[in-house]
Amino acid sequence: MGNSTSSQSVTPALREWVVAQATAGMGVQKILQAMLEAGWQQAVAVQAIEDTLRVHLSQQAIEARLPPAVPVPRVPLDGSPLYLDLGDRRVHIISHMQKPPIVVIGGFLSDEECALMVEAARPKMARSRTVDTQTGGEELNDARTSSGMFFSRGQNEIVQRIEARIARLLSWPVENGEGIQVLHYHPGAEYRPHYDYFNPAEPGTPSILKRGGQRVGTFLMYLNEPDKGGGTTFPDVRLEVAPKRGNAVFFSYDRPDPSTQSLHGGAPVIAGEKWIATKWLREREFT
Ligand code: PD2
Ligand code: ZN
């Protein structure tokens, strides 16, 4: 932490050092003394310590009021790979964003796998219900005008194959996932922006959480291509993912809070129809 230049600019590294010293229990006087010995001018040092600790403490206060952050599933993106070999299939990385963590994956499913999923789901489709966090039961919902069905985990060969592929991609146990849901949208149908985690303030949430804890990630697979519309939107970051057959979008949320910026929706289908499959990942084994 030397500083002998005349400009004496307060860098992020210096701020980190100040926070580290304070966190380790060093008093403000001791921090100031160390900076003066390293050649900082008194006025610059005092201002830097004050500003840094004020921002740090207010961030801590905000954090303290939020639900605690938990580990989430991740796509291994270190080294910015173009392709990932998932054993039975090589998929490619189209794009990714850090905050919120969103990854768009190309070629996650073959056209044949998409068709198998639609045909397995088609006979069982009914108007979509969402989990009612008032009661923990299910309800019809105007915000979601699609129809849908759930497979149970491992229900058939194609579901097993896809679940195992998701588990390998995310290094997240198959057991920590809900059954895959398939949704079908006609023109005009949409899924208005929402969070996939269960709102901790709602009375039905504790009973929902008994079956594996919170949702921590959403893996959404496009099973066909609408002619127009039907993208998946992330309004907080003004992103829209195009619904291309076989592609997938994965996003995670490390606490059940809007600060995760995980708000997302299914834009209205304008022409054609849209089929998707969704796998929600839980903190623990989903029972
Ligand atoms: O169909 C979609 O794009 C969509 C959008 C938002 C699906 C879901 N949420 C979901 O299944 O949670
Ligand atoms: Zn959703």
Domain boundaries, the chain: 12-63, 83-282
- 284: which 2 tokens? 């623990």
Distance between Cα 128 and ligand 1 center (Å)? 12
Structure confidence at residue 139 (pLDDT): 63
Q: Going by CA atoms, what residue is nearest to atom 2 of ligand 1?
A: 266
Distance between Cα 265 and ligand 2 center (Å)? 6
Structure confidence at residue 142 (pLDDT): 63
Classified as helix, coil or strand, 100 is coil
CATH topology of domain 83-282: Jelly Rolls (2.60.120)
Nearest residue to 277 (alpha-carbon basis) of 241, 233, 245, 240: 245
Quote the CA–CA distance of 141 and 127 in Å, as a whole number: 9
Strand duo 269-271 + 228-229: pairing: antiparallel
Strand duo 269-271 + 147-150: pairing: unpaired
Of all atoms in ligand 1, which is nearest to the CA of residue 264?
Answer: 6
Distance between Cα 196 and ligand 2 center (Å)? 5
Structure confidence at residue 128 (pLDDT): 65
The answer to whether 32 and 49 have CB atoms below 8 angstroms apart is yes
Structure confidence at residue 225 (pLDDT): 97
Structure confidence at residue 5 (pLDDT): 46
The answer to whether 243 and 225 have CB atoms below 8 angstroms apart is yes
Structure confidence at residue 249 (pLDDT): 99
Distances (CA, A) of 149 to 44, 81, 181, 249: 63, 34, 6, 20
Q: Going by CA atoms, what residue is nearest to atom 1 of ligand 1?
A: 266
Within the chain, which residues score under 50 in pLDDT?
4-5
**CB under 8 Å to 234, separation ≥6 — which residues?**
100, 102, 240, 241, 251, 261, 262, 263, 264
Of all atoms in ligand 1, which is nearest to the CA of residue 232?
Answer: 3
Structure confidence at residue 143 (pLDDT): 64
**CB under 8 Å to 193, separation ≥6 — which residues?**
233, 235, 263, 264, 265
Note the pTM of the prediction, 2 decimals. Answer: 0.80
